[in-house]
Every structure is written in C-alpha cells, then in structure tokens.
Structure 1
Amino acid sequence: MDSDSYSKQQLDDLFMDMIAYYDGDPKRIQHFTKVHSYARLIGIGEELDDASLFILEAAAYTHDIGIRVAEEKYGRCDGKLQEQEGPIIAQKMLSQLGFENYIVERICFLIGHHHTYDNIDGLDYQILVEADFLVNLYEDDAGNRAIDKAYKRIFKTETGKKIFRLMFGYEEED
C-alpha cells in the first residue's frame, strides 16, 4: 500500500474514531466535520505539502477533543481547558491508529494551541484557526462587529479570506 492511501486510511479511521468518541453528541460531530472540511479546502488552496495537509486534517478532526474531559473535570470547556486536556487524549488515540510520533507531536501542539491567536507558528496552525473561526462564527450566530473583528484580526490566508468574504457577505474596506 502506498503512503497516500495509508494516510487516507488513517484519516478515515480517525474520523470514525472521533464520531465514536462523541457518540450521542451530533453537534460536536457536526462541528469537527465542518472544521475539517474548511481546513482541507484552505490547505489545498494555500498549496500545503502532503505531510502538512495530513497533519492539518488530523488536527481539524481532533482539535476539540479536550471538551468532554474538561466538562467532566471542571464543569466547563473553555478554550484554555480544551488546550490543556486535549493533547493527552489525542496522543493516545493517534498512537493507537499508528500515526508517526513526529506527526502526533505536531497535532498535539495544534490542539494545545488552537485557541491561542498570538504567535501562530506555521501555516497549518493558521489554517486550523481560520477554519475553526469560520465554523464558530456561524454556529455562535456572531454579529457584524464580531465578524469584522475576526476578519481583521485572524484571517491571513488568501483562501481563508475568500471563503470568509463569500460566507458572510463581507466586504473588505480599502
């Protein structure tokens, strides 16, 4: 089996494992599925290499994996708690699926920082944040002020900006 199909199979296995992980929670399953879709689209548009796209896709599936544990431990699931709790759970799941160590490390880094918007380190990180914002702004029914602020503060990739403008009917100021 060539590495491309192996990688695709790992992503498909991860997708199914994440659906099982969120058993009975369709909102969370829908969320990570949408984030993955936008992350992949932006990653392809920004011409990520295959390895970076693979890492981005896996991180998009697992980015909020810490929510359940945070809710169980602390009764809440804010971004910082997701970042704190997520990498531990993801590391175990990804290792069981045969992901290579360096890939697991980067995915866990992305999970552990996906609600931290300063010092974004790498295009995969930038794209994950943008994809999560596209979905969260819609799911949270954000107002015009929040939409404007997010566009100006968060979006850096040309593909992410284009999707944002089309999705929200947003017009950039000159």
Structure 2
Amino acid sequence: MQNTSHLIALLHEQMFTYERGNPERIAHLTKVHDYARTIGLLEGLEEETLATLEVAALVHDIGIKESLEKYGSSRGDLQEKEGPPLSRDLLTKLSFPTSMIERVAFLVGHHHTYTNIEGIDYQILVESDFLVNLQEKKTSIEAIREVYEEIFKTKSGKQFCGEMFGV
C-alpha cells in the first residue's frame, strides 16, 4: 500500500473529479475533512483511526449525486443507502485496506444517524459535518445551541462549535 497521506490526497483529487462542476459539494467535503482531521489530531486519535476518519470525511456525501439521480432527493437516509457501495468501489480502486474500506462504508452509511454513535471516528465525523452544515445553512442560534447540547461530545468539537457560533 502507498503512503496513507498520499492515498488520502489521491482520494481528495478523485472526489474533485467525482463532484466536477459542483463547487459547493467540493467545498463542503473539503471543509468537513479539514475539521475532522483537526479535531482528530487535537483529540489524540491513533494514526489508523485518524486516516479512517479523514477518508470517511472526504466521501461522506458520495451518495448525494446518486440519490438525486434515482430519487430526486438528497435526504440523509437516501445518502446513507446509496453512499456505502460507491465509497467501497472508489476506495477499492485506490487500494485502501479492506478493513478501512468497510469502516468507511459503515460511517458513510450512518453519518446522518445521530443515535448509538459507536466510535470516536463516527463522533468526530458527525461533529465536523454539523460544523459545516450549521454554517452553510445559516442555522438559527437557538437550533445551534440545541445541536451543541445534543450532538457535540468531543472537547475540540465543542470548542470549535462554541467559538464559531458564540454558544
């Protein structure tokens, strides 16, 4: 296997190609990846868990395009249905390890499910996606406070949310 950092860079490049012509989704996945990596580093994730988190952050919304084509909707449940096979295919082509591919597929298939969050990688992915979505959707401060209380668990995620939105 190639150097993990290089593989992650190749994946980022592939996601630009996959989302060609959609700068909003490219910016979204890039921001989620950056938050996830930063929170993961600050939370002291081991190298393999951090790499898995980074990969999941880059492909977490891979199911949107397929959901829109098949169902005319990008609802979270549809993304969770369509995303895992697409992420498996892409990561297999790039020669990521099978165990990482399966964990990433699980995370992609659950990133809009906020109950029974299993694992620090899952928690940080959800927090990172929320940080970006709250800003992109110009969410009300009341709703942000509720999300802060209910969703954010990591010290770094709470700090980022608090400082970004003044909660």
Q: TM-score, normalised by structure 1?
A: 0.95
Distance 1:102 1:85 in 2: 20
> Could you report, residue by residue, the CA deviation over 1:6-61 in whole angstroms, capped at 9, with x for unpaired residues?
10110000000000000000000000000000000100011000000000000000
Selected match of 1:68 from 56, 65, 69 = 65
What is the Cα-based RMSD across aligned positions, in Å?
A: 0.9
| 2:26 matches 1:29 | yes
Selected match of 2:100 from 91, 94, 103 = 103
Distance 1:11 1:100 in 2: 12
- Determine what percentage of the aligned residue pairs are the same residue: 49
Partner secondary structure for residue 67 of structure 2: helix
Larger Rg: 1
Work out whether residues 56 and 107 of structure 2, in 8 Å CA contact, stay in contact via their aligned partners in 1.
Answer: yes
Task: Tell me by how many angstroms 1:144 deviates.
Answer: 1.2
The residue type paired with residue 104 of structure 1 is I
Distance 1:160 1:26 in 2: 25
Selected match of 2:159 from 158, 162, 174 = 162
> Could you report, residue by residue, the CA deviation over 1:100-150 in whole angstroms, capped at 9, with x for unpaired residues?
100000000000000000000000000000000000000000001110110
| 2:104 matches 1:122 | no
The residue type paired with residue 114 of structure 2 is Y
> Could you report, residue by residue, the CA deviation over 1:153-172 in whole angstroms, capped at 9, with x for unpaired residues?
000000000111111111xx
| 2:133 matches 1:136 | yes
The residue type paired with residue 127 of structure 2 is E
Q: Which aligned segments of 4 or more residues in structure 1 are displaced greater than 4 angstroms?
A: none
Selected match of 1:149 from 143, 146, 151 = 146
How many residues end up aligned between the 2 structures?
167
5+ unaligned residues in a row in structure 1: which ranges?
A: none
The answer for the alignment partner of 1:19 in structure 2 is: 16
Q: TM-score, normalised by structure 2?
A: 0.99
Distance 2:77 2:142 in 1: 24
Distance 2:43 2:150 in 1: 19
Distance 1:101 1:143 in 2: 41
Selected match of 2:4 from 4, 7, 12 = 7
| 2:76 matches 1:79 | yes
The residue type paired with residue 70 of structure 1 is S
Work out whether residues 141 and 165 of structure 2, in 8 Å CA contact, stay in contact via their aligned partners in 1.
Answer: no
Task: Tell me by how many angstroms 1:77 deviates.
Answer: 0.6
